[in-house]
Amino acid sequence: MRQHSWAEPYKIKAVELLKMTTREQRDAAIREAGFNTFLLRSEDVYIDLLTDSGTSAMSDRQWAGLMRGDEAYAGSTNFYHLRDAVEEYYSYKYTVPTHQGRGAENILSQMLIRDGDYVPGNMYFTTTRLHQELAGGTFVDVIIDEAHDAQSEHPFKGDVDMAKLDALVDEVGAEKIPYVCIATCVNMAGGQPISLASLKAVRAWCDKHGIRLAHDMTRVAENAHFIQRREAGYENKSVKDIVYEICDLTDIATMSSKKDAMVNIGGFLAMNDPELYEKACALVVVYEGLHTYGGMAGRDMEALSIGIAESVDDNHIHARVGQVEYLGNRLRDAGIPIVLPIGGHAVFPDARRMLPHIPQEHFPAQALAAELYRISGVRAMERGIVSAGRDSVTGENHKPELETIRLTIPRRVYTQAHMDVTAEAMIDLAEHANQIRGLKFVYEPKMLRFFQARFEQV
């Protein structure tokens, strides 16, 4: 079944034309954007690898699904399709749609976290941690140490270090831990999977302590693909079955369906506990919309339920991760330092090693992303000290070990030639990396600063 190369199991039916820019135009654009790639206009970008979120190409079936939108305020047919797809593919009985992942994170955090609680997780994600903090909680990182080491080739860098979980419960007590939050294919670690062995150990630990297990399932299909390839006993299981098994081990899920499920907007909170579902329905009407649409149009729920089915297809995910690995291998073969193993949704060039002359306080990854855009029109995202933000109590900068840029590949959008151009741009960049200058803030937003911060060169 998976013997062919990673070539795509689809052909192209419509294309979107791109504008080509000159280096002078891009130089002006990145200065105007305060050296922050989030502040560029997308029409000035050639190959947009900022994020895989909401940027994927829908299939003809999904587009056809849009025409079947039932835009009733209450009880839309498309809601029931979505609910059934979530139960069929992801196991969860109750689904509350939200406008995107962070809407679900908000509701989950408000429902379960009390002032002074601790929420352990396998590495932070920006919006997830902020919602936990806004609800009065403190995030505690319990991922294995290897996840913080760009050069470790551990096959499951998303695994949980059980000793860290034990230490937390000894220190604060189980009653201060409302849930453990496990992400599949950990974004900030470089798109690194958690093994089923580790997830089962966390499940047993949660049962022992009477603590709930929540699942950030944003990239669960990519995680399942790595389990199929790397975890003993799963080589003959389908991605669909592995996805189901992962979800079935957890109690609650938050989903940004803008990633795996290949829609441009949408998400949900899903769970098995009817009492929790009742609470979630009460909250969703305040922040998102009625519990049968939660901030999504009927048509978008339809496209999502179709996208869920497409996302767990073995051939799809093989091509998806294959393309990411193709780019990663080209960079690695050219001697460019990247986070290893190559992740599921993106390649993460290591700014620490590419720009050893720039101290972390001068934002080497931010500077690298700006320069990549300037020379090539390829847009990446900083994933280092700027993204990590400040400690909510001390106000000090978090200083993550991983200081990277993220070349994030949208699903079903770019071709192998686009990957080649990106690799060539990174190789050009590496050749003059020693001339790149660090940056300093001219504007630093208080929350999620990476989105809107502005910089100038030091």
Looking at the annotation, which residues are catalytic? 73, 125-126, 216, 259, 383, 450
Does residue number 267 form part of the binding site for ligand F0G (CB under 6 A)? yes
Cβ at position 227, least distance to ligand F0G in Å: 17
Cβ at position 323, least distance to ligand F0G in Å: 17
Does residue number 102 form part of the binding site for ligand F0G (CB under 6 A)? yes
In terms of CB distance, is 78 or 408 closer to ligand F0G? 408
Cβ at position 53, least distance to ligand F0G in Å: 4
According to DSSP, the residues that pair with 183 across neighbouring strands are 216
The interface region with ligand F0G, picked from 74-82, 125-133, 152-160, 418-426 by CB under 6 A, is 125-133
Cβ at position 24, least distance to ligand F0G in Å: 29
Does residue number 414 form part of the binding site for ligand F0G (CB under 6 A)? no
Q: Which of residues 202-221 bind ligand F0G (CB under 6 A)?
A: 216, 218
In terms of CB distance, is 297 or 427 closer to ligand F0G? 297
**How many C-beta atoms lie closer than 10 Å to residue 88's C-beta?**
13
Does residue number 256 form part of the binding site for ligand F0G (CB under 6 A)? yes
Does residue number 122 form part of the binding site for ligand F0G (CB under 6 A)? no
Report d(CA 64, CA 255) in Å as an integer: 23
Q: Which of residues 167-186 bind ligand F0G (CB under 6 A)?
A: 183
Are 345 and 52 within 8 A, CB to CB?
yes
Residues 6+ apart with CB under 8 A from 397: 361, 385, 388, 389, 390, 391
In the structure encoding, which two tokens stand for residue 49, read together? Answer: 């690898």
Nearest 5°: the CA angle 408, 139, 183 is: 40
Q: Which of 406, 385, 422 is nearest to 186 (CA)?
A: 406
In terms of CB distance, is 59 or 218 closer to ligand F0G? 218
Q: Which residue is nearest to ligand F0G (CB)?
A: 101
Are 290 and 74 within 8 A, CB to CB?
yes
In terms of CB distance, is 295 or 438 closer to ligand F0G? 295
Does residue number 106 form part of the binding site for ligand F0G (CB under 6 A)? no
Does residue number 341 form part of the binding site for ligand F0G (CB under 6 A)? no
In terms of CB distance, is 95 or 127 closer to ligand F0G? 127
| 3-class DSSP state of 443 | strand
Cβ at position 126, least distance to ligand F0G in Å: 8
Cβ at position 51, least distance to ligand F0G in Å: 3
Q: Which of residues 40-79 bind ligand F0G (CB under 6 A)?
A: 51, 53
Instruction: Tell me phi and psi for residue 267, to 5 degrees.
Output: 180, -175
Does residue number 132 form part of the binding site for ligand F0G (CB under 6 A)? no
Report d(CA 12, CA 14) in Å as an integer: 6
Q: How many angstroms separate the Cα of 251 from the Cα of each of 138, 163, 212, 284, 425?
A: 21, 22, 6, 19, 44
In terms of CB distance, is 21 or 218 closer to ligand F0G? 218
Does residue number 305 form part of the binding site for ligand F0G (CB under 6 A)? no
Cβ at position 385, least distance to ligand F0G in Å: 17
How many residues are listed for the chain in this entry?
458
Does residue number 127 form part of the binding site for ligand F0G (CB under 6 A)? yes
β-pairing verdict for 94-98 and 381-383: unpaired
Report d(CA 291, CA 278) in Å as an integer: 10
Q: How many residues bind ligand F0G (CB under 6 A)?
A: 15
Contacts of residues 144-149 at CB distance under 8 Å and 24 or more positions apart, as own/partner, are 147/122, 147/123, 147/186, 147/189, 147/192, 148/189, 148/400, 148/401, 148/402, 149/401
Residues 6+ apart with CB under 8 A from 262: 56, 57, 58, 59, 62, 307, 310, 311, 411, 412
Does residue number 316 form part of the binding site for ligand F0G (CB under 6 A)? no
Out of 62, 122, 187, 323, name the contact with ligand F0G by CB under 6 A: 187
Cβ at position 92, least distance to ligand F0G in Å: 17
Element (H, E) at 426: helix 416-431
Does residue number 292 form part of the binding site for ligand F0G (CB under 6 A)? no
- Residue pointed to by tokens 């429902």: 111
In terms of CB distance, is 10 or 287 closer to ligand F0G? 287
Cβ at position 216, least distance to ligand F0G in Å: 5
State the helix-helix crossing angle for 220-230 and 239-248, rounded to 10 degrees.
Answer: 110
Out of 258, 299, 316, 449, name the contact with ligand F0G by CB under 6 A: 258
Site pattern 82..101 for ligand F0G (x: CB under 6 A): ------------------xx
Q: Is the peptide bond before 341 cis (omega within 30 degrees of 0)?
A: yes
The DSSP symbol for 448 reads S
**How many C-beta atoms lie closer than 10 Å to residue 352's C-beta?**
17
In terms of CB distance, is 277 or 348 closer to ligand F0G? 348
In terms of CB distance, is 225 or 258 closer to ligand F0G? 258
Where does this chain bind ligand F0G (CB under 6 A)?
Answer: 51, 53, 100-102, 125, 127-128, 183, 187, 216, 218, 256, 258, 267
